[in-house]
Amino acid sequence: MPWSDPGGNGNKNDNNPWGRRPNAQKPVFDIQKITQELKKLGGIFGSGGDRGGGSKMNRKWLQLLPFLAVAILVLFWIASGIYVVGPDEEGVVLRFGKEVGISQPGLHYRLPFPFERVYLPKVAQSHRLVLGYGGAADSLNPGMMLTADGNVVDIRFAVQYRITNASHYLFATTNPDQLISYGAESAMRELVGRSNIDDLLTSSRGAIEQQAQQITQNLLNRYHAGVTINSVQLLQVAPPKAVQPAFTEVTTAREDMERVRNEAQAYASSVIPKAQGEAGAMVTNAEGYKQQVVDRAKGDSARFTDILQAYQKNPKVVSERMYLHTMQDILSHTQKVIIESKGQPVIYLHMPARTPTMAVKSPTNSVAATAPAVSISSPVARTSSPAPLQIPISGASS
């Protein structure tokens, strides 16, 4: 049986393993003992329970106790002037509300409150403000701005700044972040009002960001804000939701226009150089032909002048020579047929153009020619061909 069973295991005392009965009550406090302890405490604090020097010593401690408490409080008050300036902070110490010094990072001491007070702004960190359109359609939209071409856009942009003068940052205005916000929004509205919506959506965003940074910095310097604007970044530029579908269609049409224009420019870039090359080639050929004709005319003129001068000196020789040259030119381009004076046998010499002049003799002698073939036929057999040149041979036998 378990040990908790009252009649089990033969245990007469019914004790549990820890030496106590399960249903035994807790021991009652000893009142007399407690009373004696309280009397001892009363004797320490001068209750008169003890006699002799102990009582006088306790009274002295009771008289010194308020002074000890005040001394401890004063020590804590003096120690409250110790402060630490972090590595990214700068301490501005004020004495009765007036600036008396700047503390660099490290451990420092100031007069306790209410004499001096220390502000610790984060001067090494980059702070960021997001301004403009916040997405709330039922509230006043600070990012809704009007462009130069009459369009309304929702703009959301971020301003990053760093504290450069802690005193100016803390005391030039009651709310430094609000001053920076107002300055940045004013600069952005000025730039948006001077720009077209296409410039805001495409290529001019970088220039607008730089100009907004410069204008905001100049405005804050005028108010001694004690900050340096690191950058202004356009996060979102979009038309209002009510006109966004129509604006999307207009944007698509403009993109199509740009695409067609680019294709036309590419086609023009491929066709115009080709046409210019062909025109240049034609001009060059014409110039060459012109020079060739002029040179030929000059040569013919010079040759005719030379012949004229020679003819004036010896007309008979020049005439005979010109006749021979002319016959040579004619015979060198004409088919040749050799016949007798009576017209009986016909010797047809089929010779290609530009062949050497052949030697012709009488029938009694041999006929020497450089032509590849010689055919003899009647004159009637050649009626269909061009009229050949007939050369009669005088003295030939029948």
- 354-364 per-position pLDDT tens digit: 544 444 444 43
pLDDT tier at 134 (50, 70, 90 boundaries)? low
Distance from CA of residue 324 to its chain's centroid?
A: 85
Q: Domain check: are 233 and 248 in the same one?
A: no
Domain-embedded: residue 155: yes
Domain boundary residue, one of 278, 313, 348: 313
Domain-embedded: residue 343: no
Region for 48 from its dihedrals, namely left if φ exceeds 0, alpha if ψ lies in -120 to 50, beta otherwise: left
| Pairing state between β 346-349 and 82-85 | unpaired
The mean-pLDDT minimum among 219-228, 286-295, 308-317, 389-398 falls in: 389-398
The mean-pLDDT minimum among 13-22, 75-84, 151-160, 363-372 falls in: 363-372
Rg (CA), the chain: 63
* pLDDT above 50 (res 80): yes
Q: Domain check: are 128 and 221 in the same one?
A: yes
* pLDDT above 70 (res 51): no
Q: Domain check: are 221 and 250 in the same one?
A: no
| Pairing state between β 346-349 and 374-376 | antiparallel
pLDDT tier at 114 (50, 70, 90 boundaries)? confident
Q: Domain check: are 199 and 227 in the same one?
A: yes
| CA dist., res. 217 & res. 183, Å (int) | 8
pLDDT tier at 55 (50, 70, 90 boundaries)? low
Distances (CA, A) of 356 to 36, 196, 323, 353, 371: 167, 87, 19, 9, 9
- For residue 384, the model assigns a pLDDT of 42
- For residue 213, the model assigns a pLDDT of 92
Out of 4-13, 55-64, 164-173, the most confident range is 164-173
Tell me which of 218 and 149 has the higher pLDDT.
Answer: 218
Q: Domain check: are 210 and 254 in the same one?
A: no
pLDDT tier at 284 (50, 70, 90 boundaries)? very high
The one-letter amino acid at 296: R
**Share of residues in the chain with pLDDT > 90 (%):** 14
Domain-embedded: residue 165: yes
Domain-embedded: residue 387: no
Beta bridge partners of 227: 163
The one-letter amino acid at 212: A
Beta bridge partners of 118: 93
Q: Which domain holds residue 154?
A: 124-239
Nearest to 226 by CA among 264, 156, 179: 179
- For residue 375, the model assigns a pLDDT of 40
What is the average pLDDT across 218-229?
91
* pLDDT above 80 (res 136): no
Domain-embedded: residue 177: yes
Q: Domain check: are 253 and 266 in the same one?
A: yes
pLDDT tier at 241 (50, 70, 90 boundaries)? confident
| CA dist., res. 140 & res. 132, Å (int) | 11
DSSP 229-254: EEEEEEEEEE--GGGHHHHHHHHHHH
* pLDDT above 50 (res 69): yes
Tell me which of 233 and 347 has the higher pLDDT.
Answer: 233
Tell me which of 378 and 107 has the higher pLDDT.
Answer: 107
* pLDDT above 90 (res 201): no
Residue 278 is encoded by which pair of tokens?
A: 């062909």
- For residue 8, the model assigns a pLDDT of 43
Residue 165 is encoded by which pair of tokens?
A: 């003068």
- For residue 318, the model assigns a pLDDT of 86
- For residue 214, the model assigns a pLDDT of 93
Domain-embedded: residue 19: no
What is the average pLDDT across 2-26?
45
- Could you check whether the bond before residue 388 is cis, i.e. omega within 30 degrees of 0? no
Q: Domain check: are 114 and 128 in the same one?
A: no
pTM over 0.95: no
Domain-embedded: residue 352: no
Q: Domain check: are 222 and 129 in the same one?
A: yes
- 246-278: pLDDT as tens digits: 777 877 888 889 899 999 999 988 889 889 889
* pLDDT above 60 (res 146): yes
Domain-embedded: residue 204: yes
Q: Domain check: are 223 and 303 in the same one?
A: no
pLDDT tier at 16 (50, 70, 90 boundaries)? very low
Tell me which of 292 and 150 has the higher pLDDT.
Answer: 292
Distances (CA, A) of 60 to 39, 54, 66, 214: 19, 10, 11, 74
Domain boundary residue, one of 259, 288, 313: 313
| Pairing state between β 91-95 and 116-119 | antiparallel
Q: Domain check: are 150 and 107 in the same one?
A: no
Q: Domain check: are 148 and 206 in the same one?
A: yes
pLDDT tier at 381 (50, 70, 90 boundaries)? very low
- For residue 369, the model assigns a pLDDT of 38
Domain boundary residue, one of 220, 239, 258: 239
Number of structural domains the chain divides into: 3
* pLDDT above 80 (res 373): no
φ, ψ at 170 (rounded to 5°): -80, -35
Q: Domain check: are 227 and 164 in the same one?
A: yes
The one-letter amino acid at 215: I
